[in-house]
Amino acid sequence: MGRHYCLQLAKAGYGIIAVDINGNGLDALGAELSGTECIRICMDITVHDAAQRIGVIADQAGASVDILVNNAGMIFTSAICDTAPEKLDTMMRLHCVTPLLLCREFVPKMKARGKGYVLNISSISAWMDWPLIGMYGNTKHFVKNYSRSLRIECAGSGVSVTTAIFGAVDTPLFHFSDKATRLMLATGVMVSPQKAVSLAIKAMFNRRKRVISGLGSRCAIVLSQIIPDFILVRLARRFGPMIHRV
């Protein structure tokens, strides 16, 4: 999805600062963005000073960051107490700590210029305190909530904060079969990365508070809040061994 954000924003006339742990992916992106000013930073953004280092690189390049997209993500499907501590720490840093500090790094500069956009990526799982995706959902809950606080704090400054709420998106983050993927795309349970990114960017430029991808996601948010715990316990016991992946 990060690739699609870069391609669509470049098409809209923006220069790009792309940050990724995947150096080969960054090189491929650079080739696709031929003719667009693109600063590529190969970095593990879970390191403690990642946001500050990105800010320094941007300043040294003379880049004025008008749009901040916090998109990096990971997922594992395992019980919290069965997940390696370093995995829990990595997810917290990737979803919560570094995106928050990137906002702290760039939003004050946007406010000083009187304009800017922040796009934070949450998930329908932010409403789902479910087993096996408990850590993922709760980190996305944090994203949803701090984004609202930041939006309120930026009111009247020219800086807007938009939260994108996605359900399943057809990316390598998930490991569904081809048949299941086709079915979910056809029924709207899953959306393509191109569509998800287009929805999010449109909402961001319209300065909307939130965008939720598809009717299926909206229904899932409602249903997830009324399913009793005992049903979730049964589902976890029945399907947990099938989807366990750390």
Q: Where is pLDDT greater, at 94 or 229?
A: 94
**pLDDT at 177 (0 to 100):** 63
Query: Model's pTM, two decimal places?
Result: 0.86
Mean pLDDT over residues 75-103, rounded? Answer: 93
d(CA 11, CA 8): 5
d(CA 232, CA 55): 43
Which CATH code of 2.120.10.30, 3.40.50.720, 3.30.360.10, 3.30.365.10 fits the domain covering 2-243?
Answer: 3.40.50.720
d(CA 147, CA 122): 9
**pLDDT at 222 (0 to 100):** 73
Q: Where is pLDDT greater, at 195 or 187?
A: 195
Cite the DSSP H helix spans in 18-120. 23-32, 50-60, 85-92, 98-113
Domain range list for the chain: 2-243
The alpha carbon dihedral of 59, 163, 112, 46 has a sign of negative
d(CA 246, CA 235): 19
Where residue 103 falls among pLDDT bands split at 50, 70, 90?
Answer: very high
The alpha carbon dihedral of 19, 20, 24, 26 has a sign of negative
Instruction: State pLDDT tens for residues 32-66.
Output: 999 999 999 999 999 999 999 999 999 999 999 99
Tokens representing residue 101 in the block: 């500090």
